[in-house]
Amino acid sequence: MSQRELIVLGTASQAPTRRRNHNGYFLRWDGEGLLFDPGEGTQRQMLFGHVTASEITRILITHFHGDHSLGVPGVLQRMSLDQVRHEVEVYYPADGGAEIFGRLRRASLFHDRLRLAERPVTADGEIGSTPLLRIQARALSHSVPAFGYQLTEPDGRRMLPDRLAAFGIAGPDVGRLQRDGALVAAGRTVTLEQVSAPRPGQRFAFIMDTRICDAVFALADGADMCVCESTFADSQAGLARDYGHMTARQAGAVAAQCGVRMLVLTHFSQRYEADDDLRLLAEAKAEFAGDVRLARDLDHISVPKRAALGRGRRSLAN
């Protein structure tokens, strides 16, 4: 059975607070473990969130501001200490990124046993794939080079037990039909389409420090779960624009326009404390009638179960 959930390791932008650690997000996606934007303190938050270093298969960094990358040295050293043997792919903006990542990796002395495959991101498009997962990037509008990420599972088909029974197909023949697309049963040819229905692949979007731009909509398009920065309240919309950020209301509007199923708000300014959380949530909900979650440190949030085809614009799928 697949396990797809987001573990929120931190939700603070720029500076941590008494209630919020720096950014950090771990996505369990079946056999993949994707660590996004590990800010300072991520290694310790992983312990509290029950995330092990050996689970990490990919590290995705949107940009190299400290609240999104200062946790890299500790995470890498912990992976080395735990003797993680598999290759770990690391994605980051190519513009100046290799030098910065090299400094982070060698920030202190340790016995480096890691097998890292660095994948600098140079332009919009696909940056990684497996038969079960496609990773794409889009350039965002921030004060430094930044990319957002989208994960997409290929569409498939769901077998219909009643239709299989009607054609007398059972046991190993079901697997053969799925593999070959057709088989002969009781003297007649049965196609996969006759005994199955479309099953949409799931989609996850990760959108951090950025102004509203075309890339935000492309990344969020049709997402089952969209993790989106919500640094400011609507009353600071001008400040958000000036510093390359979004408001909670803007995040809600994007989710509504793009057919998002679950919106996860995060990356909050230190000016907002406990009483302000509900304000940010309300502003997003004023624009988006779907499921909105206000991320809190160490939350475990399950990716929604698959929905029907036809949601969103699917612009990145081309």
Both tokens of 115, joined, read: 């097998």
The DSSP result for 104-156, as a single string, is: HHTSS-------EEEEEE-SSEEEEEETTEEEEEEE--SSS--EEEEEEPPPE
Both tokens of 282, joined, read: 């309300």
| CA-based nearest residue to 230, from 243, 215, 217, 249 | 249
Residues in the chain: 318
Judging by beta carbons within 10 Å of its beta carbon (0-12, 13-18, 19+), is residue 163 exposed, middle or buried? middle
Catalytic: which of 67, 209, 277, 297? Answer: 67
> Which contiguous run of DSSP H or E holds residue 252?
helix 248-258
d(CA 228, CA 233): 14
Report CA-CA distances (Å) from 251 to 138, 248, 294.
17, 5, 12
| CA-based nearest residue to 71, from 95, 101, 91 | 101
119: left (phi over 0), alpha (psi -120 to 50) or beta: beta
| CA-based nearest residue to 252, from 271, 224, 226 | 226
Report CA-CA distances (Å) from 174 to 154, 194, 278, 284.
20, 12, 50, 45
67: annotated active-site residue: yes
Q: Catalytic residue numbers?
A: 67
